[in-house]
A = this chain, B = another copy of it.
Amino acid sequence: MPLNPINAPDLSTAPSTSEVIVKHLREAIIAGKLDEGEPIRQDDIAQMFKVSKIPVREALKRLEAEGLVMFQRYKGAVVTKISEPELAQMFEVRVLLEVKAVRLALPHMTEATFAQAERICQEFMDESNVGRWAELNWEFHACLYEPAQRPFLISLIRSIHDKVERYLRLQMALSDGKERADREHRAIIEACREGDADKVADMVERHLTGVCQTLYEHLPDNRYTHHG
């Protein structure tokens, strides 16, 4: 018997209510629509989706494991607040992982890869919506790493992305982050075209550490002391 001759979708993985909620909440947190430190009211979320709070809690438990929210017993879940040292550590790991990814991907890149990356860059520059920027930013990076054929590595990078993205948004909006990102992205594409692995690795590293640096400079100093 030939396998899956009609390319049937996997019905057993149809999303449950809690999975739908996970997706929405994750996007909301990443987009910075929920202030960090502010408690997430289970009943409110439940009413938004017209469901009970059971699936809401299951969704929050998942997001807790992803590091996006934190539970405090009898006080509920709050959006995780990332300290500056933690941010620095995350970028340190990102550099490590993303440099590895792009190195592995480089030999398998084709003109289609570059074209796709440039298309994303263009869309990025034409876009005015801040929320979409971050999304396209990830798409760009993912596009460069995908040829590596390392789903585990990429999912790990993505999970870190998800945690820091709402801070990046800040940085991109305030400084000339967008133009700088575009410049650096296009330069990386060119380096990839040349096929010089060391150069590409160096550029990706500088790009990421640069972003981290700007982010640091634009972080409000009082994020530890402000109340309410």
Contact = CB atoms under 8 A, between A and B. Distances in A.
Interface in A25-70: 54, 57-59, 61-66
Please classify how large the interface on chain A is, using the bins under 10, 10 to 19, 20 to 34, 35 or more.
20 to 34
A73 to B, nearest CB: 5
A71 B22 CA distance: 14
Interface in A65-116: 65-66, 71-75, 86, 89-90, 92-93, 96-97, 100
State the number of copies, please: 2
Contacts of A57: 58
B65 A150 contact: no
A209 to B, nearest CB: 15
Interface stretch (A8-16, A186-194, A196-204): A8-16
Which among A15, A58, A64, A151 has the highest number of chain B CB atoms within 10 Å?
Answer: A58
Contacts of A96: 96-97, 100
21 contacts: A12-B72, A13-B72, A15-B73, A16-B71, A16-B73, A18-B61, A58-B61, A59-B61, A61-B65, A62-B62, A62-B65, A86-B151, A86-B152, A89-B151, A89-B152, A89-B153, A92-B150, A93-B97, A93-B156, A96-B96, A96-B100
